[in-house]
Amino acid sequence: MFDVSGWPIWSLIVLFIVGLILIVKGGDIFVDAAAWMAEVSGIPQFIIGATIVSVATTLPELLVSCFGAARATGDMTANGNALAVGNAVGSVTANTGLIMAISIICIPAVVKRSQYAFKSILLILATVILYLSSLGASFSLYGAIVLLFIFVISTIESILTAKNQQTDTDNRVSYEKKDIPINIGKFLGGALGIVFGAEFLVDSATELAVKSGISQAVISATIVAIGTSLPEFVTTITAIVKKQSSLSVGNIIGANLIDIAIILPICSLISKNDLSCCPQNIYLDIPLCLLVLAIAIIPMLILGKFSRWQGICLMILYAGYVVTISFFNPFPIL
């Protein structure tokens, strides 16, 4: 994020509007391009969402967490590490408890368990390993290595699934060679629009909130936490409008895996130390993250569908979490 402190209110409002336009338009062409990739390759939308799309939409989380870990090499170790761990875990909670909840409420679809099961189980396993690795008040390098191994397994599974699906040409859509650079450009341009639009939106909204006298605790728990998940949110809403629910759910699950199994290990390497975990991370953030993942994933694996009651429960839990850390947080980060 860049420094907008001291900017006049009118310029912050303009920046907010520009950010909003960028993420809305960027999300539109981004989802169109991703859906085109799925159609012409014959690869399921879920796999496209869980790989290519999720990598693009997790850039804000990666940048914020890495900056936090970099700060941990200096004099602000506790705060920097808390930002790195808290932002990665908080993004997973926001992705699942807010964004996936909206998707499930709007489109409570029947799913192919064969497509969802493996990555969903890996996601829960990675979060459990993160929790167990953090009980000593720090996320160890050994835990980072295990999480990286889980991500490698997930990537191999995606490649094998894509390869198997590509052998089936019945589901492919014909295209002209000129469509390839056009849609790649739309995909990259849409991703950049979402990422920069989210940054403009969060920076301007945060500064406007500060000027309005809103507390830093509320700003951190709402604008910043949800702001880094805006790319997933925009992609999900756009996919819902275009009735591409598999793409949106795949994006969220893939993004969550990247948050847990890639971003935290990278932060651990950047900080050159075990990442410190504050009491809030251990006793509130990670347990709640596990709870929302369990509500979203386990019934789906058993019943083979997403139900609206799951989305409602997730929304209630996430709202309670935001209220708790904003106004009643018993574990302040020092």
Domain assignment present for 232: yes
Domain assignment present for 22: yes
- pLDDT for the residue numbered 76: 40
Range with lowest mean pLDDT among 25-34, 90-99, 165-174? 165-174
What value does the mean pLDDT take over residues 247-262? 85
Domain assignment present for 312: yes
Residue 76 contacts by C-beta under 8 Å, 6 or more apart in sequence? none
Q: Which of the four pLDDT bands, split at 50, 70 and 90, describes residue 101? A: very high
144-183 pLDDT tens trace: 889 999 999 998 888 787 777 654 545 566 777 788 888 8
Report the CATH number that the domain containing residue 25 is assigned in CATH. 1.20.1420.30
pTM, to two decimals: 0.76
- pLDDT for the residue numbered 135: 84
Range with lowest mean pLDDT among 88-97, 109-118, 204-213, 220-229? 220-229
Domain assignment present for 170: no
Number of domains into which the chain is organized: 1
- pLDDT for the residue numbered 128: 94
Domain assignment present for 141: yes
What domain range is 316 assigned to? Answer: 9-164+179-327
Domain assignment present for 4: no
Domain assignment present for 18: yes
Domain assignment present for 69: yes
Range with lowest mean pLDDT among 18-27, 51-60, 121-130, 318-327? 51-60
